[in-house]
Amino acid sequence: MKFTIHQANHIGARKYNQDRAGYAYTNDALLLLLADGMGGHLHGELAAQMTIYTFMRAFSRLEAGRVQEPEVFLRATMRAAHDAIIEYALEQKLGGNPGTTCVAALVQDGLVWVAHAGDSRFYQLRDGKVARVSHDHSVVQQWADWGVISPEEMKTHPDRNKITNCLGGVEDMFYAEVSPSAEVRDGDTLLLCSDGFWSPLDEAELIKLRTAPSLAHGVNELIGVAVRREAGRADNTTVVAARLGATELSHSTDIPVCVPLAID
């Protein structure tokens, strides 16, 4: 496959960095991953890391480097990660379950499938337009859907961090939402991000990823903007961005390659 990827993270103003991310690929498939851990003393970073590695293990076992049933793969792997978090919490007697959001995107055969739980987001950028594919599983998103608050009020509402779905956390609260497959074209930029990134930014600003001198420059610049706007309240801020197309870097491999984001 031909693509360029940049993934980056900033701890923000938080004591702990609980975001995790990564990507994996074969000659025929590309998997993008992001998880935003929650739970403070319950070690949300463990839930996030377990989620990323559960996906990578599943992807590394692909036969012939292809996902036979993308929707089934995404849904089943996310469920496996959720179950692993619950089991780990029981074994370690944590006194509760760490939790994490997750967004995963699989590119194959000119299509992209997106699965998510929580409020980490997936955007598809094309021809100067930004399309948000995922739909937040959060209290404020639900209220906005009902017309109780406006989309702008979602960004500052005191309950904006309350989510209604996650991996781990409350055992029976989890579900994986898989969006219908969508076409990808040369020049498309695919963006996965935690709420520490998207919340301080206007969606129109994301198009800068298409016009920046490089994908890495655009991602790092926008992360800087997001962190500065939140000042002393900045959350962990994480992005995985991929640009697809015949003019991008060629990634040829005999075996699945997995690249987790290094978190300091």
Q: Domain residue spans in the chain?
A: 3-248
Strand-pairing partners, residue 191, are 123, 241
Q: Which fold has domain 3-248?
A: Phosphatase 2c; domain 1 (3.60.40)
**Assigned token pair, 202:** 């206007």
List the one residue out of 56, 2, 3, 20 whose CA is nearest residue 242: 3
Residue with structure tokens 């935690």? 194
What's the CA gap between 2 and 116, in Å, rounded?
25
pLDDT of residue 231: 87
pLDDT in tens, 89-133: 999 988 888 999 999 999 999 999 999 999 999 999 999 999 999
Residue 97 carries which side chain, given as an amino acid letter?
N
**pLDDT for the residue 134:** 94
Q: How far apart are CA 70 and CA 113, in angstroms?
A: 7
* DSSP letter assigned to residue 16: S
Rg of the chain's alpha carbons, rounded to an integer? 17
What's the one-letter identity of residue 17?
N
What is the three-class DSSP state of 157? coil
Tokens of 175: 């579900």
Q: What per-residue confidence (pLDDT) applies to 40?
A: 67
Q: List, in sequence order, every residue forming a beta bridge with 234; answer none if it has no partner.
A: none
Q: Could you tell me which of 88, 161, 95, 120 has the C-alpha nearest to residue 20?
A: 120
Burial of residue 71 (CB within 10 Å: 0-12, 13-18, 19+) is middle
Cα–Cα distance between 162 and 186 in angstroms, integer? 37
Q: Which residues does 75 contact at the CB level (< 8 Å), separation at least 6?
A: 115, 176, 178
Alpha carbons 244 and 249: distance in angstroms, whole number = 9
Stretches in the chain below the pLDDT threshold 70: 40-41
For residue 185, the model assigns a pLDDT of 97
Provide CB contacts within 8 A for 84, sequence distance 6+: 50, 54
